[in-house]
Chains A and B, each alone.
Chain A
């Protein structure tokens, strides 16, 4: 496998369910990100991890819980979600964290399309 892979690609869950999204990067990168993409809205940064340490939590509700067990894997644990949380959740990685001059290339996975009923 190459690049950034996300599973599952599609997920339908009820508001009382608990589920997890998984992301794996095969690029040897040191930083990983979760973004949310809703229809007609800009990509929203949710979390940033650098070398397994969370370096940014962008005011995300606690019903979203990230986990980064190592530099290649990133999870997003979901519980008691709301219908407005339905969106495409994109994982991305970069060689180094983006805090630095002239850095801005993110390598995105194909996304996990989440529907909350």
Chain B
């Protein structure tokens, strides 16, 4: 079983819609969760992090965490073509140097 599972996509949504990106993980000891965005040919950049169960909102982005279900998601409201990228879910234990990444979900926002 992969440590971090993401659907590779592509997830295609029309401009203005809500894009929902999902991630499941196997290590119940994971304590911190991160969403990175990677444009084609570019390096990943951090867009959101979440540590506590529930929702965390930042502009058009909302991260959701459910530790009991080992599930973390990213919602993008009012999706724009510029949001088209690969979104990487990552997690870590507090005591670890290692940030464990999923393979990423490719998002396409159609104009």
Q: Is A97's beta carbon under 8 Å from chain B? A: yes
Q: How many residues of B contact A (CB 8 A)?
A: 27
Q: Which of A42, A43, A99 is close to B97, meaning CB atoms less than 8 Å apart?
A: A99
Assembly CA distance A41 to B6 (angstroms): 11
Q: Is B42's beta carbon under 8 Å from chain A? A: yes
Query: Which residue of A is nearest B44, CB measured?
Result: A108
A99 surroundings in chain B (CB, below 8 A): 94-97
B103–A104 CB distance below 8 A: no
B43 surroundings in chain A (CB, below 8 A): 90, 108-111
- A-B contacts counted at CB < 8 A amount to 68
A56–B97 CB distance below 8 A: yes
Assembly CA distance A103 to B102 (angstroms): 18
B63 surroundings in chain A (CB, below 8 A): none
Assembly CA distance A103 to B91 (angstroms): 10
B94–A100 CB distance below 8 A: yes
Q: Which of the segments B11-19, B45-53, B75-83 contacts the partner chain?
A: B45-53
Query: Which residue of B is nearest A39, CB measured?
Result: B103
Using a CB-CB cutoff of 8 Å, which residues 88-117 of chain A contact chain B? Answer: 90, 97-106, 108-111
Q: What does the 1/0 interface line of B78-109 toward A look like (CB < 8 Å)?
A: 00000000001010101111111111100000
B95–A41 CB distance below 8 A: no
A106 surroundings in chain B (CB, below 8 A): 44, 46, 99
Would you give 14 A-B contacts (Cβ < 8 Å), ordered by A? A40-B8, A43-B101, A45-B98, A48-B97, A56-B98, A90-B44, A99-B96, A102-B32, A102-B94, A105-B46, A106-B44, A106-B46, A108-B45, A110-B43
Q: 8 closest Cβ contacts across the A-B interface?
A: A108-B43, A43-B101, A42-B101, A101-B94, A104-B34, A105-B46, A48-B97, A42-B103
Q: Chain A interface (Cβ within 8 Å of chain B)? A: 40-43, 45, 48, 50, 55-56, 58, 90, 97-106, 108-111
